[in-house]
Chains A and B, each alone.
Chain A
Amino acid sequence: MKHIVIIGNGISGVTAARHIRKLSDHKITIISGETDYFFSRTALMYVYMGHMKFEHTQPYENWFWEKNNINLKQGFVKTVDTNSKTLHFNDGDTLNYDSLIIATGSKPNKFGWPGQDLKGVMGMYHKQDLENLELHAPNNKVCKHAVIVGGGLIGIELAEMLNSRNIPVTFLVREPSFWDGVLPDGESNMINRHIKNHHIDLRLSTNLKEIISDEHGRVKSVIIEETGEEIACDVVGLTAGVAPNIDFLKGSPIELGRGVKVNRLLETNIEDVYAIGDCAEQHEAIGQRRPIEAVWYTGRMMGETVAQTICGNKTPYKPGHWFNSAKFLDIEYQTYGWVFSTQNKPDYEQHFHWKHDDDTKCITVAFNKDTNVFLGINTFGIRMRHEHFDKWLTENRDVDYVMKHLAEANFDPEFYKRYEEDILATYTNQLKLA
């Protein structure tokens, strides 16, 4: 019986623990400096918005851990001594391990803006950030105006959160259109309009220059780089992406890049030390995926995989076809396969775009213009089935086939209006024109 210690009780660490428990009777300890129990980070926004209480974000009841013989330890790991296989905690405590899994997730990026550590300036990642936001922005009397810096998925969530409490928001986005490094232009533009329809003051192509303090060390306003405009505000949300949360490993012999370097078996350069989830960085990117994948399901999959390896069944991490989802205010977004943004797409990638007149639904289908092979789909406001696209991608279907069978992949609730006919008609029309 080995003692397996996991740093981080997020989705990756917890999944690893659950699967190791299924496969073995090793002693398992999960460490977290954040919360006593596993919770779903993706649901933090709903707590602030009053859709859920914090306890609802916990996927397992509190008795689950003891029943499954998984030890939980609250504490913050300060250093790792890989020679003696010992963890040293902030409070002086130590813990020995036989195998170590690093699953410490991410932390919000801060790019050295003047004033970025003032009171009222915050990221949105940990539970503590949420508590901080609750303190500085409980309502629109305490927080009369908020500024969000960085137009990604967390930025728009934060905008929605503040909006739900009627706090006016100015949303600074560096790019000329929202998330246009990822989304094709048609979609990105539609989301721009949707954000404005929610009365959020979206400022595109706009950078933060500095954050100004009042006499108590609290944020008072921000200055815009391009125009020099000063915007008074009580809260500044920094949501310009995340980076692996691995500062505590600096000085240890574990090889670090931007994240903890791992091979396909999720092993680091040190024996018996593994890394999974947001903080792991592949030596070489897998397919078109990024070396660091900071999404929920990849953390889960790495947890499943590393559990196999640790329990004696060496298994490389081999994610299937790319997929993901998000929600932009009221518009749901799903993606299957690869659809690159207008600026980043490779030469062979061609797009078919359809948008509904109500400006809340659209799809983009990517295909190889030389071979006609279907590459991927982005869908907004229409739910589609993962299973079907996964199959079509595996079968290397051509785009005509996918367009003709699109109706089969519909996943909207019953009685919803269907758009496949209209989509197919538009598609055939465009083909004729081309």
Chain B
Amino acid sequence: MSNKLNDSMSLAKPEANNLSSKQKIAVVIGIIGLFIMGLAIFNTNFPNKTLFLSLSIGAIVVGTILFANDAYLTKLEGIKNDGVWFKSISSRGMLGWVTGVFLTGFYIVLYFYPQYLGQSANGEPNTGLISLFDPLSNILSGNPASQWFVYGTLYTVAILVFGYKFMLKYRHNRYEQLRTASVMFFQLGFAFLIPEFMSRLNTSPDYNLPYYDLKSMWPLNYYLFDSWSINGLLSSGSLGLLMLLFGIVSIFVVSPILTYKYGKRWYCSWVCGCGGLAETAGDSFRQLSSKKLSAWKLERWLIHTVLVFSVLMTTAVIYTYLGSDPNKFWLTRGAFVLSVGILLTVVFAVIMIFKRKELGKDARYGAIGYFVVIAALFIMHYTGASDKIFFIKASSLRSAYGLYIGSIFSGVIGTGFYPILGNRVWCRFGCPMAAVLGFQQRMFSKFRITTNGGQCISCGNCSTYCEMGIDVRAYAQKGENIVRSSCVGCGVCSAVCPRGVLKLENDTMEGRINSNEILLGNDVDLMDLINKK
């Protein structure tokens, strides 16, 4: 992450001499901040870590703020996309590729070789970059830093400073500003500070809280139901129990209600940390998402496969957990599998009864998916006398998921490839949470993007800047509302539309999906004639 800060400043512009002198100073300041971290990686032993860490982060923050101020506050309010496709960083040029490779490398080191960042083993003191962060970690949680603490700090700093930049860029647009303030708040408070304070509680023997980002819901935090997590929560008194309950209520009550009222955007672009990073640090890359029909097809296959995988994996993990001590829980393995099966069946039945028509051809895939899961559950129960499922240990299933989906997909590809595939690769192709919310958004939600009669001029700004790769224009030029499961409600399509065609709205479910052959503005008779057919 650290280098993201760098990107849209110094390296960002091949035409560096186009930078104003203020911007050049800002870039130098930012680079000094990164340079300190670079020195730390190569084991420079700083005499006063607190001072140098503050200097480093401070320089990065100040550099980015100065840069953003000069880039946006010197111009009138409005859309600021000039030159996006000329800049090497934002148009898959040299800098884009270099940054992509660098970020990917960073993620690989972070996930698989943390020792190179100075992560110590066996309780020895940290070295390198990680030790630079020890003072901050000590203040917050009372423990030395870890690679995850370093990552979390940089991640949060990135969301905050690039959030600031984004808010300046859209200073004429209150929707963009409010939702950015919201993701900044949730990242800083819920993802960063609260978990640190929680681990401070753990110094008391009464608590054994796992790392828990309260805003992160299953299936995004697939580890919530891991045994260490559940054990931790259950052994931490009423606070732990409350948190576990909160996690479960969020999934089954809070999320369905909010998604019904506002669409999945309440989560994906107002709360979520992955979305938060994508919308702030990743904003310069949103135009890189593929709008091809083939990409849409791939998206639907991938994301639903991940969902099925995560449901099975979680069920298996809980299933094994329940089996570990039959007397400890009121819930038995059999009852658990049965209730999962019933829940899925109810969802499936409701959809098939009420929404069959809207699904169209997809109904077949839905049905296949459903039966695969049910069959898997069935087999699981009857072959899994021990802790093996399909003769694979639940824990291996869990670690495979953690490795391939949790680390490689969401981190290495999801963020590392920002400059190549766009900023929402993970959200679009891999996130199981997005799949669940998206499914509800498509089926049971008041949210839609309304198009404004016949005003569309098919210019394509909306499609170009849709980070989810939705071909918004294809709907707008037909006067059709946009009701797509992948839409995260970022509102940028509406912002960049030069003709005021698009509006994100919550309204009644009735007539939400309207397909027109021809649009308003035509002769009424002809509209009636053609649209009736």
Chain A contacts to B: CB under 8 angstroms: 11, 22, 40, 42-43, 46, 49-53, 56-59, 61, 164, 197-198, 296-297, 301, 304-305, 308, 315-321, 323, 325-327, 329-330, 332, 334, 360, 383-387, 390, 394, 411-417
Instruction: Take A315-B526, A327-B499 as given contacts and tell me if A57 and B83 are in contact as well, using a CB distance cutoff of 8 Å.
Output: no
Q: Which residues of A contact B519 (CB under 8 A)?
A: 297
**A304→B533 CA distance, assembly (Å):** 14
Which residue of the partner chain B has the closest CB to A52? B464
**Interchain CB contact under 8 A, B457 and A323:** no
Q: Which residues of B contact A301 (CB under 8 A)?
A: 518, 521-523
**A208→B464 CA distance, assembly (Å):** 38
**Interchain CB contact under 8 A, B522 and A42:** no
**A164→B503 CA distance, assembly (Å):** 27
Instruction: Take A297-B454, A323-B521 as given contacts and tell me if A57 and B526 are in contact as well, using a CB distance cutoff of 8 Å.
Output: no
Q: Which residues of B contact A297 (CB under 8 A)?
A: 454-455, 457, 519, 521
Instruction: Take A164-B83, A296-B457, A386-B455 as given contacts and tell me if A51 and B526 are in contact as well, using a CB distance cutoff of 8 Å.
Output: no
**Interchain CB contact under 8 A, A59 and B474:** yes
Out of A53, A305, A319, A327, which one reaches B498, CB within 8 Å? A327
Q: Which residues of B contact A318 (CB under 8 A)?
A: 522-523, 525-526
Residues 457 to 493 of chain B near chain A (Cβ within 8 Å): 457-461, 463-464, 473-474, 477, 491
Contact segment of B108-116, B171-179, B243-251, B351-359? B171-179
**A63→B218 CA distance, assembly (Å):** 40
Could you list 10 further interchain pairs (A-B, Cβ under 8 angstroms) beyond the known A57-B460, A164-B83, A323-B455? A22-B517, A42-B459, A59-B477, A297-B519, A308-B526, A318-B526, A320-B520, A332-B499, A411-B452, A413-B503
**Interchain CB contact under 8 A, A46 and B174:** no
Whether a CB of chain A sits under 8 angstroms from the CB of B125 is: no
Q: How far is the CB of A308 from chain B (nearest CB, A)?
A: 7
Q: How far is the CB of B506 from chain A (nearest CB, A)?
A: 9
Whether a CB of chain A sits under 8 angstroms from the CB of B331 is: no
**A413→B175 CA distance, assembly (Å):** 7
Which residue of the partner chain A has the closest CB to B84? A50
**Interchain CB contact under 8 A, B76 and A330:** yes
Out of B453, B460, B517, which one reaches A59, CB within 8 Å? B460
**A320→B525 CA distance, assembly (Å):** 10
**Interchain CB contact under 8 A, A50 and B82:** yes
Residues 486 to 533 of chain B near chain A (Cβ within 8 Å): 491, 494-496, 498-500, 503-505, 517-526, 529-530
**A286→B46 CA distance, assembly (Å):** 80
Q: Which residues of B contact A415 (CB under 8 A)?
A: 174-175, 178
Number of contacts between A and B (CB, 8 Å)?
Answer: 159
**A413→B492 CA distance, assembly (Å):** 10
Which residue of the partner chain B has the closest CB to A298? B521
Whether a CB of chain A sits under 8 angstroms from the CB of B81 is: yes
Instruction: Take A198-B76, A334-B500, A413-B504 as given contacts and tell me if A40 and B457 are in contact as well, using a CB distance cutoff of 8 Å.
Output: yes
Q: Which residues of A contact B297 (CB under 8 A)?
A: none
Out of A52, A58, A417, which one reaches B461, CB within 8 Å? A52
**Interchain CB contact under 8 A, B526 and A304:** yes
**A394→B520 CA distance, assembly (Å):** 13
Q: Which residues of B contact A198 (CB under 8 A)?
A: 76
Whether a CB of chain A sits under 8 angstroms from the CB of B77 is: yes
**A50→B522 CA distance, assembly (Å):** 33
Q: Which residues of B contact A43 (CB under 8 A)?
A: 457-461
Instruction: Take A51-B82, A164-B83, A415-B174 as given contacts and tell me if A387 and B293 are in contact as well, using a CB distance cutoff of 8 Å.
Output: no
**Interchain CB contact under 8 A, A320 and B455:** no
Among B178, B293, B464, B491, the most chain A Cβ lie within 10 Å of the Cβ of B464
**A414→B530 CA distance, assembly (Å):** 33
Q: Which residues of B contact A386 (CB under 8 A)?
A: 452-455, 520-521
Q: How far is the CB of B246 from chain A (nearest CB, A)?
A: 28
Chain B contacts to A: CB under 8 angstroms: 76-79, 81-87, 172-175, 178, 292-293, 452-455, 457-461, 463-464, 473-474, 477, 491, 494-496, 498-500, 503-505, 517-526, 529-530
Q: Which residues of A contact B518 (CB under 8 A)?
A: 301, 304
Which residue of the partner chain B has the closest CB to A64? B293
**Interchain CB contact under 8 A, B458 and A59:** yes
Can you list 22 pairs linking A and B with CB atoms under 8 Å apart? A11-B458, A50-B83, A51-B79, A51-B496, A58-B460, A59-B460, A61-B292, A296-B457, A296-B458, A297-B521, A301-B518, A301-B521, A319-B522, A323-B454, A323-B521, A329-B78, A330-B76, A334-B455, A360-B77, A387-B520, A413-B173, A413-B503
**Interchain CB contact under 8 A, A49 and B83:** yes
What 4 A-B pairs come out closest when comparing CB atoms? A386-B453, A330-B78, A318-B523, A383-B500
**A329→B473 CA distance, assembly (Å):** 22
**A390→B83 CA distance, assembly (Å):** 38
**Interchain CB contact under 8 A, A385 and B457:** no
Q: How far is the CB of A422 from chain B (nearest CB, A)?
A: 17
Q: How far is the CB of B323 from chain A (nearest CB, A)?
A: 49
**Interchain CB contact under 8 A, B174 and A417:** yes
**Interchain CB contact under 8 A, A319 and B457:** no
Q: How far is the CB of B283 from chain A (nearest CB, A)?
A: 14
Out of B458, B495, B521, B523, which one reaches A413, CB within 8 Å? B495
Q: How far is the CB of B56 from chain A (nearest CB, A)?
A: 33
**Interchain CB contact under 8 A, B503 and A304:** no
**A53→B526 CA distance, assembly (Å):** 35
Out of A11, A56, A320, A332, which one reaches B522, CB within 8 Å? A320
Which residue of the partner chain B has the closest CB to A382? B500
Q: Which residues of A contact B520 (CB under 8 A)?
A: 320, 386-387, 390
Which residue of the partner chain B has the closest CB to A329? B78
Q: How far is the CB of A383 from chain B (nearest CB, A)?
A: 4
Which residue of the partner chain A has the closest CB to B83? A50
Out of A42, A49, A317, A330, which one reaches B82, CB within 8 Å? A49
Q: How far is the CB of A187 from chain B (nearest CB, A)?
A: 16
**A210→B438 CA distance, assembly (Å):** 61
**A385→B455 CA distance, assembly (Å):** 10
Q: Which residues of B contact A383 (CB under 8 A)?
A: 452, 500, 503
**A326→B501 CA distance, assembly (Å):** 12
Among B77, B495, B499, B504, the most chain A Cβ lie within 10 Å of the Cβ of B499
Q: Which residues of B contact A50 (CB under 8 A)?
A: 81-87
Out of A296, A317, A416, which one reaches B174, CB within 8 Å? A416
Which residue of the partner chain B has the closest CB to A331? B78
Among B172, B463, B498, B500, the most chain A Cβ lie within 10 Å of the Cβ of B500
Instruction: Take A50-B85, A164-B82 as given contacts and tell me if A387 and B453 are in contact as well, using a CB distance cutoff of 8 Å.
Output: yes
Q: How far is the CB of B228 from chain A (nearest CB, A)?
A: 42
**Interchain CB contact under 8 A, A53 and B85:** yes
Q: Which residues of A contact B175 (CB under 8 A)?
A: 413-416
**Interchain CB contact under 8 A, A332 and B498:** yes
Q: Which residues of A contact B473 (CB under 8 A)?
A: 59
Q: Which residues of A contact B460 (CB under 8 A)?
A: 40, 43, 46, 52, 56-59
Out of A22, A40, A385, which one reaches B453, CB within 8 Å? A385
Q: How far is the CB of B93 from chain A (nearest CB, A)?
A: 12
**A386→B473 CA distance, assembly (Å):** 17
Which residue of the partner chain B has the closest CB to A317? B523
**A308→B530 CA distance, assembly (Å):** 10
**Interchain CB contact under 8 A, A385 and B293:** no
Q: Which residues of A contact B474 (CB under 8 A)?
A: 59
Q: Which residues of B contact A49 (CB under 8 A)?
A: 81-83
Out of A53, A360, A411, which one reaches B503, CB within 8 Å? A411
Q: Which residues of B contact A334 (CB under 8 A)?
A: 455, 499-500
**A428→B199 CA distance, assembly (Å):** 62
**Interchain CB contact under 8 A, B78 and A325:** no
Q: Which residues of B contact A414 (CB under 8 A)?
A: 175, 503-505
Instruction: Take A50-B83, A56-B463, A197-B76 as given contacts and tell me if A325 and B522 are in contact as well, using a CB distance cutoff of 8 Å.
Output: no
**A40→B517 CA distance, assembly (Å):** 19
